[in-house]
Amino acid sequence: MPELLQRAPTTDGPPSRRRLEFLTFLILAFGIWPLVAVGVVGGYGFIVWMIQVVFGPPGPPAAH
């Protein structure tokens, strides 16, 4: 029964660990994820552009 009386883990830790986690969050939130988002949107735009270069723009076929 002593296992049941153990305290649940808390988010409070040593100040250095909390600071490290906060710094990691800032780097992810304002550094890495914006770069990933720009890369994904830019990559999608590049793929659409290349498809249009090869197959032509979307729309009805041109009249002859």
Task: Convert the pLDDT of each residue in 21-56 to its tens digit.
Answer: 999 999 999 999 999 999 999 999 999 999 999 999
The predicted model scores a pTM of: 0.62
* Residues in contact with 18: Cβ distance below 8 Å, sequence separation at least 6, in sequence order: 12
**12-to-20, 22, 27 alpha-carbon distances in Å:** 13, 13, 21
User: Which residues constitute the domain of residue 29?
Assistant: 19-54
Tokens linked to 17: 């660990």
pLDDT of residue 16: 92
The verdict on residue 34 lying in a domain is: yes
Query: Given a cut of 60, is residue 20 above it in pLDDT?
Result: yes
Question: Is 26 inside a domain boundary?
Answer: yes
Split at pLDDT 50, 70, 90, the class of 62 is confident
- Does 50 reside within a domain? yes
Position of tokens 């590049």? 46
What's the total number of domains in the chain? 1
